[in-house]
Structure 1
Amino acid sequence: MGTKPSKIALLISGVFSLTALPTVAAESNQDVTIDETITVTGTRFDRSTEQQLTVINTIERSEIERLNPKSIVDVLENLPGVSVTRNGGAAQASSVSIRGTSSDHALIIVDGVKIGSATLGTANLSTISPENIERIEVLKGPRASVWGSDAIGGVIQIFTRQLKSDEWYVGAEYGSNDYVRGSAGIGLEHGQGSSTLAINHERSNGYDVYNGVEAENDADGYDRTSLSVKGSQSLNEQWQALWNGQYDKGNTQYDDIYGFGGDDEFDFANYLWTLGTQYSAEHFNSKLTISQSRDYNEYFRGDSVAVNVSEFETKRKQVNWSNQYLVGNGLNLSGGIDWSNEAVLGDYAQTDRDLVGVYLLAEKQWDKLLAEVAVRYDDVESVDSETTYNLGLAYQFDAQWRLAVTTGTAFKAPTFNDLYYPNLGSPDLLSETSENYDITLNYQRNDVQAYISVFKNDIENLIDWAWTGELDSNGYPIWKPANISDAEILGAEFFTKFSLFGLEHQLAYTYLDTEDKATEEKLTGRSENEVNYSLSYRWNDFDLLANYHYQGKRYAGYKQYLDAYHQLDLGVGYQVSDNWQLRLKANNVFDEDIVSVTNYNSPGRELFFSVSYSAL
């Protein structure tokens, strides 16, 4: 039958042969701990974990504080099925891959608003400070049937800080490479509503991130400031007004892979805002929002470069109307309309486009059986239209065990660079598309919970550079983007969380088998094996945390691999009083040489000390 089918059969048989695996229970008894986590990314409305058919990992504020990350990717790297590559430290360019898909196959949302560049097709997560984040939800697998374009590998939704009235905090931190941070936030009451204001500023002198060219031997520092506001106001028993805003501004120094030399750096100034209203009744909920986001970068390069200043800007306007109707007898219906306009700065043949999507989702519960059907139609101006779907079934064997089987399709529309970049764009490109299959076995009992998920993702019409068959005036081949590649991703994802001997344990393992159908080689930047293990302990006013990460060797192309590495981070916190807390964090304790992108170095061993006062 060939190599691939045998591997699929082996993985699937492994799922059904497990006898003590773990996550979600839908029934209650004395031996079961019900997971009270509420997520919204799967359906756009509040859902408990036992109502979800897709795998969703959630990182709450308390865990973010203990991790003490310097970037969002530091948080995401601890999750199963999520892989990170970086061109250096916290503020350098990075990419996030969900279950082996490309970095531009993850839809990035902040408080319900899509962010990122419409020219590159990705979002720069390094510009967002973790200090202003309340929660992160990472949905695995395709969800274009609810969210539209980009959600081939999954969806990452970031929620900003939200404090109750009269709650407030201040904090400061100092660490390696002259890292300095100050942050503060406060919750304000106004009648039947409240708002949260938060600010964070941090800077670092950095280090030399690139070891490939002598001309780039300089420290690459950064500074960034983040402001956020989030609030709501009850107008009466049914109606509520909502608003939120985020502003991120700063400067990042970097090293150019082509070795032009000089002080390479860029300024960024990104924002988003949302105004909305929500109606809530016993069986019906409706939410209407208007929003806008901006992604702006201004690059400054060395004097040896012909064009040493470049501007890139995307502005995205959005209108979203989402509805939920609880029909009864276990039937829930959700649906809505999305409209957005993407506009870019530059000498493009077309500088803006409209995207319109309509979706409908139905969920039905029959005793131990849960079913889901979702379908969506999207029209991308001047490109094409796509219809995507999700189908899912879950069966609750008993209070501890549940099996879910899902399938779905997704797409990613070509970027403005793909379509219209001056002299290099290909305006006839089609959207990249995918078809995914997933089997997930969940277990939960007392303080043990876990899951194992086996998945297969076939991606077609991938956009890559291809020779047009023509030569330029100098006799050189002309290359342009084209729909020439297909990829197959087969994988398994395991996660468990449990208590043993007074210690809290989290263990995650991800296996990936990827293939570029055009070259019959592995996809670049992916590891076959990845392991995360977290050990935490609380004793009186102390809390201890150890995080271990193993990254298997990555394929770098041209039959070359990047070395595997091990990373151990340690942290200790001390609660001085009800309000004061001290925290010490050591990253990469063994000072491993970590390279996830050729010639780009990690910062090595780092040490950070923070102090905070919270009236929460």
Structure 2
Amino acid sequence: MCPACVLVSTGPRGSARSRSHPVRSFIPRSRHVLAVVLLSSFVFPPMPVLAADAAPDDDDALDRIVVTASRTARTQDQTLAAITVIDRAEIDRLQPPSLQALLAGRAGIALANNGGEGKATSLFLRGTESDHVLVLVDGIRLGSATSGGASLQDIPPEQIERIEIVRGPFSSLYGSEALGGVIQIFTRRPQGSAMPSFTLAAGSEHTQRATLGFGGRVGDAAQGGWYAINASHGRTDGINAYRGPRGFDPDLDGYRNDALVVQGGWRFGERWDAEARVFRAEGRNEYDGTASNLSDTVQQTVGGRLRYASTDALRIALSLARSDDLSDNYRNDAYASTFDTHRRMATLQADATLGAALLTFGFDWQADHVESSTRYARDGRINRGLFAQWQQDFDAQSLQASLRRDEDSQFGGVTTGSALWGWTIGDALHLSARYGTAYKAPTFNELYFPGYGNPALQPEHARSLEVGLRGEHAAGNWSLNAFETRIDDLIAYDADLRPTPGPNNIDRARILGVEAVGELRVADWDLRGSATWLDPRADGDNASRGQLLPRRPTRSGRLDIDRRFDRVSLGASVSGAGKRYENLANTRRLDGYGLVDLRIGVAFARDWSVQLTAGNVFNRRYETAEFYPQPGRHWLLALRHAPGAR
């Protein structure tokens, strides 16, 4: 197995070949739709409106502040990193059937899905590996220590308040996994008085959805609190998700998801405040093509944070959390295997204002533990990370520099760093540059899976250089970023490894890319778009040198167009991706595709609306992983009650 050929497996998270699953598509390319997407991104250069992790008692701040790019609250203009934010208003407008559908076509993102809703989905950010992206839910790490990836397909969009996607290396702030970037998901928060909200929906493939939320605030801004409870249920009969030669079964492969978020916070005065939250998503997924064909899964996070402001210039926060990734797998209803990951985490962070500078320093502690029906040589490890960051504005220029040292009980220490520079040119242009290093720790499967793992593995390392230009004008915004990433010590299958062939640090990769994103308002029409050009190639000293890395399209894009007429809203989304290859030898080609989605909504009373969405309206046949078809034409009709919806 080559590290670059590789994705999360279709079935159990403990599969030794956890990064890879073979694929190819028989679908004809749809170049015309893709050309429209790419051209539109320059004709209408858009930049997403940024949202944030502000306190729930400051609604305006939710549209101005981002936190993932620096671990501190920064405004959109102050943020130097390449970032995309998807807020709740956009999620309500798009009504995506899944989180992967919401992310598809965004700048720097490529997806490979194994057969529709609820099926294993691999996300490649800026051409890096599918396990090179750190996923956070409300600041808590999510993911499997055995396979190395997070199960994005199990997080329902109904539970999401907003998403911050930060592109580029961020190990200097977050440690392992943040080699390609960070995706942080914030769950639903109360937006007004204590009023219930709910949604009922039905659609094709016998899809059914229901959500119920309740939240509010007590007290005032000086001393008071907030709370929120949101529950969701979804099910679908799905499609026949697999057409390949191994374990083929021409049935419908359904999916069910039940999720609950309970959270709240309290401000004790000017100095102290606290928050606590629980997120749990349970999935039941049917699939074909592996030794098992049914999985019961759980994604869960539990955490709390206590913050203290000793003075206006010094703030200290202590966070304690736990995340669990659980999977029980079955073959024709007979138990097959269990792969569970438990993570305990603690963070102490201080932010000090020193004149015009903001200094951040802190300590992260994380303990991973694996419980499985498969016996691993080691089932736990501990990582300790010490980090520091300096941010300062100098008139029209800005600097952000960070340094981190991680000590892992399995492989030892790693030091990473990052430096960002920005220059505001006049009132409309912002020039930026960045250099950073990152690393990814090997997974438990790569280290210890019986008959496969190599306990001598070392982390994968990367270095990245990036330049960007951002513009703002009365009708909208745009940005353009170009980058190069080099990855060393990539973990690949080594047939010459002794005494047993297996994974080894023997490969390299070089990735070049350009991203264009932006937004524009023209004659009451809102246009938002993104386009990515990518050249991700193997760079090792072997026969694969110069070949395109698998499952990464060399070009992709998305354009969303919306308009509101009093009580009626209309919209369309056009997305597409170019060709890609299933294998590193580039002999099994997946053709490009283009998709069109349509939507219409009617607000028929105060706080009440009905919305109809139609996806893949031209019924394009395509695959993002070989032998795993994607859904054809589908629709969803939703009734929504949302007091004070934005």
Same structural fold, with TM-score higher than 0.5 when normalized by the shorter chain: yes
Q: Equivalents in 1 of 2:46, 2:234: separation in Å?
A: 40
User: 2:329 maps to which residue?
Assistant: 299
Q: Is the CA contact 1:36–1:48 (under 8 Å) kept in the aligned structure 2?
A: no
What's 1:441 paired with?
A: 469
Decide whether aligned partners of structure 1 residues 88 and 383 sit closer, same or farther in structure 2, where only a CA change above 3 A counts. Answer: same
**1:410 offset after TM fit, Å?**
0.5
Match in the other structure for 1:174: 202
Q: 1:102 aligns with which of 126, 129, 132?
A: 129
For 2:181, the equivalent position in structure 1 comes to 154
Higher mean Cα deviation, 509-518 or 335-344? 509-518
CA contact under 8 A between 1:22 and 1:443: conserved in structure 2?
Answer: no
Residues 189-204 of structure 1 aligned to structure 2 (within 5 Å): 189-191=217-219, 192-204=224-236
Identify the match of residue 257 of structure 2 among 224, 228, 232. Answer: 224
- Cα deviation 1:524-547 (Å, max 9, x = unaligned): 001111121111111111111110
Rounded Cα–Cα distance in structure 2 between residues aligned with 1:582 and 1:322: 44
What residue in structure 1 maps to residue 568 of structure 2?
Answer: 542
After superposition, what is the alpha-carbon deviation per residue over 1:185-219, rounded to whole angstroms, capped at 9, x for unaligned? 00144551111000001111111011124741111
> Which position in structure 1 is the counterpart of 2:422?
394
- Aligned partner (choices 485, 488, 492) of residue 507 of structure 2: 485
- Do structure 1's residue 207 and structure 2's residue 229 form an aligned pair? no
Q: 1:63 to 1:278 in 2, by over 3 A?
A: same
Quote the offset at 1:82 in angstroms.
Answer: 0.9
Structure 2 residue aligned with 1:385: 413
Distance 1:323 1:194 in 2: 24
Measure the CA separation in 2 of the matches of 1:325 and 1:23: 31
CA distance in 2, matches of 1:581, 1:19: 33
Q: Deviations over 1:48-99 (max 9, x none)?
A: 0111110110000010111111211111114111111101111111111111
Match of residue 284 from structure 2: 251
CA distance in 1, matches of 2:642, 2:421: 44
TM-aligned CA distance change 1:420 to 1:59, over 3 Å:
same
List alignment gaps of at least 5 residues for structure 1: 1-17, 26-33, 472-477
Q: Which amino acid aligns with 1:245?
A: V
Deviation at 1:319, TM superposition (A): 0.2
Does 2:599 align with 1:571?
Answer: yes
Which amino acid in structure 2 is aligned with residue 315 of structure 1?
Answer: H
For residues 591 and 105 of structure 1, the distance between their equivalents in structure 2, rounded to whole angstroms, comes to 33
**1:178-577 superposed matches below 5 A:** 178-191=206-219, 192-213=224-245, 215-256=248-289, 258=290, 264-280=293-309, 281-302=311-332, 309-328=336-355, 330-346=356-372, 347-468=375-496, 470=498, 478-518=500-540, 519-520=544-545, 521-557=547-583, 558=585, 559-577=587-605
Which residue does the alignment assign to 2:170?
Answer: 143
Q: Secondary structure at the match of 2:642?
A: strand
Aligned pairs, number: 577
User: Which amino acid counterpart does residue 397 of structure 1 have in structure 2?
Assistant: I
Q: Tell me: CA distance 1:35–1:50, structure 2 relative to 1, closer, same or farther (3 Å).
A: farther
How far apart are 1:384 and its partner, in Å?
Answer: 2.3
Deviation of the 1:447 alpha carbon: 2.2
Between the aligned partners of 1:70 and 1:494, the Cα distance in structure 2 is 26
Could you tell me how far apart the structure 2 residues matched to 1:562 and 1:250 are?
A: 29
Query: 1:356, 1:566 → 2: CA distance?
Result: 45
Q: What is the letter of the counterpart of residue 46 of structure 1? A: A
Contact 1:371 1:393 in 2 (8 A): yes
- Match for residue 599 of structure 1 among 616, 622, 627: 627
Q: Is the 8 A contact 1:160 1:230 kept in 2?
A: no
SS for the counterpart of 2:605 is: coil
Query: Identity over the aligned pairs, expressed in percent?
Result: 30
C-alpha separation between the residues in 2 aligned to 1:22 and 1:535? 11
How far did residue 411 of structure 1 move?
0.4
d(CA) in 1 for partners of 2:342, 2:611: 39
Q: Is the 8 A contact 1:24 1:400 kept in 2?
A: no
Residues 421 and 552 from structure 1, CA distance in 2 versus in 1: closer, same or farther, beyond 3 angstroms? same
Q: Among residues 613, 618, 631, which one is paired with 1:585 in the alignment?
A: 613
Please give the per-residue CA displacement for 1:401-454, whole angstroms capped at 9, x wherever unaligned. Answer: 010000000000011111111232111111001000000000001122000000
Instruction: Render the CA deviation track for 1:134-193: whole Å, top value 9, x for unaligned.
Output: 000000000111111100110000000001441320110000100001110001445511
More deviation, 36-45/423-432: 36-45
Q: Counterparts of 1:444 and 1:437 in 2: how far apart (Å)? A: 24
Letter of the 1:221 partner, please give it: G
Pair 1:20–1:595, CA change in 2 (3 A): closer
2:94 is aligned with 1:61? no
Counterpart CA distance in 1 for 2:326 and 2:368 is: 13
More deviation in 482-491 or 515-524?
A: 515-524
Residues 243-264 of structure 1 show CA distances to partners (whole Å, capped at 9, x for unaligned) of 01101112110111x5x6xx81
Q: How far off its partner does 1:275 sit?
A: 1.6
Task: Please give the secondary structure, in 2, of the residue aligned with 1:41.
Answer: coil
Are 2:248 and 2:288, in contact at CA under 8 Å, matched by a contact in 1?
Answer: no
Q: Secondary structure in 2 aligned to 1:499? A: strand
TM-score (norm 2): 0.87
Cα pair 1:24 1:443 within 8 Å, conserved: no
Look up the SS of the partner of 1:195 in the other structure: strand
- What is the alpha-carbon distance in structure 2 between the residues aligned to residue 203 and residue 22 of structure 1? 35
Q: Which amino acid aligns with 1:141?
A: G
* 1:276-323 CA distance string (max 9 Å, x none): 2012342222211100011000110248xxx95110000000001111
Amino acid at match of 2:236: S
CA distance 1:21–1:171, change in 2 (3 Å): closer
One-letter identity of the residue aligned with 1:486: R
Partner of 1:133: 160
Whether the 8 Å contact between 1:393 and 1:404 is mirrored in structure 2 is: yes
Query: Shift of the alpha carbon at 1:20?
Result: 10
CA contact (8 A) 1:464 1:485 kept: yes
Residue identity matched to 1:609? L
CA RMSD of aligned residues (A): 2.0
Cα distance in 2, alignment partners of residues 215 and 56 from structure 1: 41
